[in-house]
Structure 1
């Protein structure tokens, strides 16, 4: 019995030491990477100057053509993250400001995201390699479910989110393999010839007094950044389009562009315009605000 207890203790200590070492190695690698995704592109950067920064979910990532802003002489990057919520957009902005980014204007895609205040776990996982390195990230996640396990158990976050920050992504970061996420000024065009689900139902969604939207507004006000909050288009077959009227009522400053592009030929799926639709939409935004 004594030998079994000693073996168990040694095994636990060995596993703990291995976890600590692996946690350290993974974290060091992520602290030196900057070309795999938009989070590390910001986190491992110094000060940058932008005329326009775009924030939001895939409905920002796929809808704002960075090059069209650049062609107007506006230095622009689209930091929209597919699958992301305002939780991640707010945190990304905090990191930009900590790195002393100079930003004249932020365009924030603010529509469906207003209906929740949750993190998008798959996207939020991209911040976790820096959890012990950044007080901003630590504080942003502090009240989230499971924070203590992620923060105090070594290597746990890399195991839990293995598909996002596990061995494959760590290896690609180690060899500095570039991804397509940072090409084209961060804009990701959807194929004009591919069609996804062309029906949608948002009738159950309700815009909230969203904590993270309020954070972004306050950060922009404090740092004298012009904030343009917009709702972006959806296809004609969407049910519950009065959601956008509810957003406008709750937040009169948010500009409603949901009906600027409506024809199905300009959509890759009901909630995402294809490349042609994105160009029409971006041209309208540039015309109206720049």
Structure 2
């Protein structure tokens, strides 16, 4: 019996050792990654200077044409992340501040995601390789239910989120494969598709009266003398429940409502995402209203 227990103990120790070694190897590889996505690009970067940083979900990623800002002489990057929530947008800004970025203006797409203060698991997972390398990331995840497992169990986060930060991603990093996430200064243009979903119902959606991560972003900007511009971006003309944007304006009067700047379906790839043509109309309006020199 003692031999059996000792054998089990050795297997346990060996398993822990392998997990620690794999954890260290995966983390090392991610710390070398600079061309696969916006998150690792910020984490592995040195101090940058920007006139405009754009944050938000896909409705930021697809709606703000960064090159149009650059054409006005404004150094700009679109850090909008498809599928992201304000949880991730706030963390991105914290990381930029941690890395001594100098930012004059932050444009935040703040509309539909004001209805929740949860993490977007698929996007948030991409921060996890660095949870032991950044106090900002550790503290940001500290209130999440599964924080202890993610932080203290070696290699657990890589196994749990294998589809995002597992072996396949490690392989692509080591091979030097790029993605299109950093193309067009972070802006991702969309085309008109015949099968695009041109109906949307947001009747049941309500903004939280106090969204923790929206308030964090606003507070960070104030503390670091960054001009904070929060906007609601357009949706197509078929949306049911457009009074949601009135609710947002009532709860957060400082947010600028641009949901009706572009409404015609011909300018939308899907009901919540404009085509490149629509995005250019919208961006031109933002530039006119906030950056007209």
* TM-score normalised by the chain length of structure 1: 0.98
- The verdict on how the C-alpha distance between 1:167 and 1:148 changes in structure 2, with shifts beyond 3 A counting, is same
Q: How many angstroms apart in 2 are the aligned matches of 1:105 and 1:203?
A: 32
Quote the Cα distance in structure 1 between the aligned partners of 2:219 and 2:194.
39
- Report which stretch shifted further, 31-40 or 53-62: 31-40
SS of equivalent residue, structure 2 residue 52: strand
- After superposition, residues 50-199 of structure 1 pair within 5 angstroms as 50-199=50-199
Shift of 1:194: 5.0
- 1:24 aligned partner: 24
Alignment of 1:206-285 (within 5 A): 206-208=206-208, 209-285=210-286
**DSSP-derived class of the 1:181 partner:** coil
Q: Secondary structure at the match of 1:247?
A: helix
Shift, 1:181, TM fit: 0.2
After superposition, give the CA deviation of every residue in 1:168-212 in whole Å (9 maximum; x if it has no partner).
Answer: 111212233211000100001112345421111111111111011
Alignment of 1:13 onto 2:13: yes
Deviations 1:78-128 (CA, angstroms, capped at 9, x unpaired): 000000000000010001011111111111000001000000000000110
**Distance of 1:28 and 1:237 partners within structure 2:** 48
Distance 1:131 1:196 in 2: 37
Gaps of 5+ in 1: none
**Mapped partners of 2:88, 2:176: distance in 1:** 24
* Cα distance in 2 between the residues matched to 1:169 and 1:120: 19
RMSD between aligned residues: 1.0
> How does the TM-score come out when normalised to structure 2?
0.97
Q: CA deviation at 1:231?
A: 0.2
Q: 1:194 to 1:72 in 2, by over 3 A?
A: farther
Please identify runs of 4+ aligned residues in structure 1 that moved more than 4 A: none
Distance of 1:287 and 1:131 partners within structure 2 = 40
d(CA) in 2 for partners of 1:175 and 1:88?
27
Shift of 1:27: 0.3
Q: CA deviation at 1:32?
A: 1.5
Q: Write the distance in 2 (CA, Å) between the matches of 1:145 and 1:169.
A: 25
Q: What is the CA–CA distance in structure 1 between the aligned matches of 2:91 and 2:282, rounded to whole Å? A: 27
Within 2, Cα distance between the matches of 1:42 and 1:172? 19
Specify the SS of the correspondent of 1:190. Answer: coil
Unmatched runs of 5 consecutive residues or more in structure 2: none
Q: Structure 1 residue 3: deviation in Å? A: 3.5
Q: Which moved more, 1:128-137 or 1:173-182?
A: 173-182
Would you say the 8 A contact 1:192–1:276 is kept in 2? no
- State the Cα distance separating 1:159 from its structure 2 match: 0.4
Q: Secondary structure at the match of 1:91?
A: helix
Number of residue equivalences = 290
SS of equivalent to 2:181:
helix
